[in-house]
Amino acid sequence: MNDVENAGFSKELNAFIKEWKNKPGNLIMILHKVQEEQGYISQDAAKAISIKTGAHLAKVYGVMSFYHFFKTKKPGKFKISVCMGTACYLKGGQELIDETKKLLGLEAEQDTTPDGLFSIEPVRCIGCCGLAPVLAINGDVYGKLTTKQIPDILDIYKNGKEKN
Ligand code: FES
Protein backbone atom coordinates (compact mmCIF):
# COMPACT_ATOMS: atom_id res chain seq x y z
CA MET A 1 0.00 0.00 0.00
CA ASN A 2 1.52 3.35 -0.94
CA ASP A 3 1.62 6.43 1.29
CA VAL A 4 -1.36 8.18 -0.28
CA GLU A 5 -3.51 5.10 0.04
CA ASN A 6 -2.48 4.65 3.63
CA ALA A 7 -2.23 8.30 4.82
CA GLY A 8 -0.84 7.11 8.11
CA PHE A 9 -4.10 5.45 9.14
CA SER A 10 -3.86 2.97 11.99
CA LYS A 11 -4.94 -0.64 11.67
CA GLU A 12 -8.05 0.19 13.72
CA LEU A 13 -8.93 3.07 11.45
CA ASN A 14 -8.54 0.93 8.34
CA ALA A 15 -10.75 -1.72 9.91
CA PHE A 16 -13.35 0.93 10.76
CA ILE A 17 -13.34 2.18 7.16
CA LYS A 18 -13.75 -1.36 5.87
CA GLU A 19 -16.69 -1.90 8.19
CA TRP A 20 -18.40 1.38 7.23
CA LYS A 21 -17.55 1.75 3.56
CA ASN A 22 -20.87 0.44 2.25
CA LYS A 23 -23.18 1.72 4.99
CA PRO A 24 -25.37 4.82 4.75
CA GLY A 25 -23.69 7.91 6.20
CA ASN A 26 -20.31 6.24 5.77
CA LEU A 27 -18.35 9.36 4.80
CA ILE A 28 -19.41 11.31 7.87
CA MET A 29 -18.62 8.43 10.19
CA ILE A 30 -15.25 7.82 8.53
CA LEU A 31 -14.31 11.51 8.48
CA HIS A 32 -15.13 11.75 12.19
CA LYS A 33 -12.95 8.78 12.93
CA VAL A 34 -10.05 10.11 10.84
CA GLN A 35 -10.24 13.49 12.56
CA GLU A 36 -10.38 11.78 15.95
CA GLU A 37 -7.19 9.89 15.14
CA GLN A 38 -5.24 12.53 13.21
CA GLY A 39 -6.69 15.78 14.53
CA TYR A 40 -7.74 16.99 11.08
CA ILE A 41 -8.38 15.74 7.54
CA SER A 42 -5.25 16.16 5.44
CA GLN A 43 -5.34 16.09 1.64
CA ASP A 44 -3.73 12.64 1.75
CA ALA A 45 -6.37 11.45 4.20
CA ALA A 46 -9.17 12.73 1.95
CA LYS A 47 -7.60 10.93 -1.03
CA ALA A 48 -7.19 7.74 1.00
CA ILE A 49 -10.84 7.88 2.07
CA SER A 50 -11.88 8.34 -1.53
CA ILE A 51 -9.82 5.35 -2.65
CA LYS A 52 -10.90 3.12 0.21
CA THR A 53 -14.63 3.89 -0.04
CA GLY A 54 -14.90 4.33 -3.79
CA ALA A 55 -16.51 7.75 -3.23
CA HIS A 56 -15.39 10.47 -5.62
CA LEU A 57 -12.83 12.81 -4.06
CA ALA A 58 -15.14 15.77 -4.77
CA LYS A 59 -17.81 14.09 -2.71
CA VAL A 60 -15.41 13.62 0.21
CA TYR A 61 -14.49 17.33 0.07
CA GLY A 62 -18.16 18.21 -0.31
CA VAL A 63 -19.02 16.49 2.98
CA MET A 64 -15.98 18.06 4.67
CA SER A 65 -16.93 21.58 3.65
CA PHE A 66 -20.63 21.16 4.44
CA TYR A 67 -19.94 20.25 8.06
CA HIS A 68 -17.85 22.96 9.73
CA PHE A 69 -16.81 20.41 12.30
CA PHE A 70 -14.19 18.95 9.98
CA LYS A 71 -10.80 20.65 10.03
CA THR A 72 -8.54 20.76 7.02
CA LYS A 73 -5.59 22.37 8.77
CA LYS A 74 -3.32 20.59 11.17
CA PRO A 75 -3.99 21.82 14.72
CA GLY A 76 -1.18 22.89 17.04
CA LYS A 77 0.42 20.45 19.43
CA PHE A 78 -1.55 22.26 22.11
CA LYS A 79 -5.12 23.01 21.08
CA ILE A 80 -6.61 25.94 22.91
CA SER A 81 -10.41 25.81 22.88
CA VAL A 82 -12.01 29.01 24.10
CA CYS A 83 -15.63 28.57 25.09
CA MET A 84 -17.99 30.98 23.39
CA GLY A 85 -21.16 29.53 24.84
CA THR A 86 -23.57 32.07 26.30
CA ALA A 87 -22.22 32.14 29.86
CA CYS A 88 -18.59 32.36 28.78
CA TYR A 89 -19.34 34.86 26.05
CA LEU A 90 -21.11 37.14 28.53
CA LYS A 91 -18.22 36.87 30.96
CA GLY A 92 -15.50 37.76 28.47
CA GLY A 93 -14.81 34.80 26.17
CA GLN A 94 -13.90 37.13 23.32
CA GLU A 95 -11.35 38.96 25.48
CA LEU A 96 -9.74 35.60 26.27
CA ILE A 97 -9.43 34.88 22.56
CA ASP A 98 -8.07 38.34 21.78
CA GLU A 99 -5.52 38.28 24.58
CA THR A 100 -4.38 34.72 23.84
CA LYS A 101 -3.93 35.52 20.15
CA LYS A 102 -2.01 38.66 21.04
CA LEU A 103 0.29 36.74 23.40
CA LEU A 104 0.89 34.08 20.74
CA GLY A 105 1.58 36.70 18.09
CA LEU A 106 -1.28 35.53 15.89
CA GLU A 107 -2.81 37.87 13.33
CA ALA A 108 -6.59 38.09 13.04
CA GLU A 109 -6.78 35.41 10.34
CA GLN A 110 -4.21 33.08 11.90
CA ASP A 111 -5.20 30.33 14.27
CA THR A 112 -1.98 28.33 14.55
CA THR A 113 1.49 29.53 15.56
CA PRO A 114 4.15 29.11 12.86
CA ASP A 115 6.05 26.63 15.03
CA GLY A 116 2.93 24.46 15.25
CA LEU A 117 2.95 24.55 19.05
CA PHE A 118 -0.39 26.27 19.66
CA SER A 119 -3.67 26.57 17.83
CA ILE A 120 -6.74 28.37 19.06
CA GLU A 121 -10.40 28.01 18.24
CA PRO A 122 -13.71 29.19 19.65
CA VAL A 123 -15.93 26.30 20.72
CA ARG A 124 -19.48 25.83 21.93
CA CYS A 125 -20.33 25.31 25.60
CA ILE A 126 -18.00 22.72 27.08
CA GLY A 127 -20.29 22.01 30.00
CA CYS A 128 -18.74 23.88 32.91
CA CYS A 129 -20.66 27.14 32.67
CA GLY A 130 -20.34 27.70 36.44
CA LEU A 131 -16.63 28.32 35.78
CA ALA A 132 -17.20 30.88 33.00
CA PRO A 133 -15.22 32.18 31.26
CA VAL A 134 -13.44 28.97 30.39
CA LEU A 135 -10.75 27.77 28.06
CA ALA A 136 -9.32 24.30 27.65
CA ILE A 137 -5.91 23.25 26.41
CA ASN A 138 -5.85 19.67 25.13
CA GLY A 139 -8.68 18.93 27.52
CA ASP A 140 -7.25 20.69 30.62
CA VAL A 141 -9.94 23.12 31.67
CA TYR A 142 -9.11 26.55 33.11
CA GLY A 143 -12.07 28.42 34.54
CA LYS A 144 -13.02 31.77 36.06
CA LEU A 145 -10.25 33.20 33.98
CA THR A 146 -9.04 36.73 33.62
CA THR A 147 -6.81 37.78 30.76
CA LYS A 148 -4.01 38.36 33.30
CA GLN A 149 -3.79 34.62 33.99
CA ILE A 150 -3.24 33.61 30.39
CA PRO A 151 0.55 34.20 30.19
CA ASP A 152 1.18 31.83 33.12
CA ILE A 153 -1.08 29.19 31.61
CA LEU A 154 0.65 29.40 28.23
CA ASP A 155 4.02 29.15 29.96
CA ILE A 156 3.09 25.75 31.40
CA TYR A 157 2.80 24.42 27.86
CA LYS A 158 5.67 26.40 26.37
CA ASN A 159 7.87 24.91 29.04
CA GLY A 160 7.34 21.43 27.81
CA LYS A 161 4.19 20.02 29.34
CA GLU A 162 3.37 16.88 27.39
CA LYS A 163 -0.29 16.41 26.67
CA ASN A 164 -2.04 14.31 24.06
S1 FES B 1 -20.90 28.50 28.27
FE2 FES B 1 -18.81 28.12 28.57
S3 FES B 1 -18.81 26.25 29.62
FE4 FES B 1 -20.89 26.58 29.20
Q: Which alpha helices (H) appear in the chain, and where do they start and end? A: 3-6, 11-20, 26-38, 43-53, 57-66, 86-90, 93-104, 150-158
Tell whether ligand 1 has an atom less than 6 A from the beta carbon of residue 134.
Answer: yes
How many CA atoms does the CB half-sphere of 35 hold within 13 Å? Answer: 17
Specify the ligand 1 atom closest to the Cα of 85: 1
Specify the ligand 1 atom closest to the Cα of 93: 2
What is the rounded distance in angstroms from the CA atom of residue 136 to the CA atom of residue 111? 15
Tell whether ligand 1 has an atom less than 6 A from the beta carbon of residue 82.
Answer: no
Ligand 1, pocket-test mutation among 83, 96, 142, most atoms within 8 A of CB? 83
pLDDT at 73: 87
Asked if 104 and 119 count as a contact pair (C-beta separation under 8 A), the reply is no
Reported as a pLDDT band with limits 50, 70 and 90, residue 49 is very high
Q: Across the chain, what does the average pLDDT equal? A: 92
Reported as a pLDDT band with limits 50, 70 and 90, residue 69 is confident
Phi and psi based region of residue 4 (left: phi greater than 0; alpha: psi -120 to 50; beta: remaining): alpha
Return the DSSP state at 54: -
Q: What percent of the chain has pLDDT over 70?
A: 95
Reported as a pLDDT band with limits 50, 70 and 90, residue 162 is low
- Which of 74, 18, 12, 68 is closest to 41 using CA atoms? 74
pLDDT at 117: 95
β-pairing, 140-142 vs 135-137, is antiparallel
Q: How far away, in angstroms, is 69 Cα from ligand 1 center?
A: 18
Phi and psi based region of residue 124 (left: phi greater than 0; alpha: psi -120 to 50; beta: remaining): beta
Q: What is the pTM of this model?
A: 0.75
pLDDT at 68: 80
Q: Give the residues across from 112 on adjacent strands.
A: 119
